[in-house]
Amino acid sequence: MKRLEIKDIEKCVGCGLCMFACSRKFASHPEIGNSSSAILPVSLSGFERGATVIFCKACSEPPCAQVCPTGALKPKKGGGVVYIERLCIGCKYCVEACTLNAIFEREDGKIAVCIHCGYCVNYCPHGVLEYREVKT
């Protein structure tokens, strides 16, 4: 299956285009802003020291799904999670559970998590991200 991966983190300029792209990823209801973004480029205390781009790494035993009390997060075959928004009660246990801090709080109290759709890769101007086939 295909996954969002980091190709070369040293080239990240912190532009956040990936973050804004993630908000637009659904053709039927693209959003402007960052509320639903599931990817976050951050600096190492200033971009001069480099960057980290935070997003779900698609664990095979996702702790976020384990702590979800309503079944809104379910382990996906091949790694990562499926998010069933309807079931989410906004408890944020998953936010606590993810070691990478890769679950983000939305403006409406629910969450955003990467679904590995690959949309953001098309908007990283500097080749930091890639969307590639991985063995699971």
Q: Is 18 exposed, middle or buried (0-12, 13-18, 19+ CB in 10 A)?
A: buried
Residue span binding ligand SF4 (CB under 6 A) among the ranges 26-34, 42-50, 59-67, 84-92: 59-67
Please identify which residue in 19, 81, 98, 102 interacts with another protein, judged by CB under 8 A. 19
Taking CB under 6 A as the rule, does residue 16 contact ligand SF4? yes
Q: Does 69 bind another protein (CB under 8 A)?
A: no
Q: DSSP states of 93-123 as a string?
A: HHHHH-TT---EE-TTS-EE------GGGGG
- Residue 80 near residue 47, CB atoms below 8 Å: no
Report how many residues bind another protein under the rule CB under 8 A: 35
Q: Which residues bind another protein (CB under 8 A)?
A: 13-17, 19-20, 23-24, 27-36, 40-43, 45-48, 50, 54, 105-107, 123, 125-126
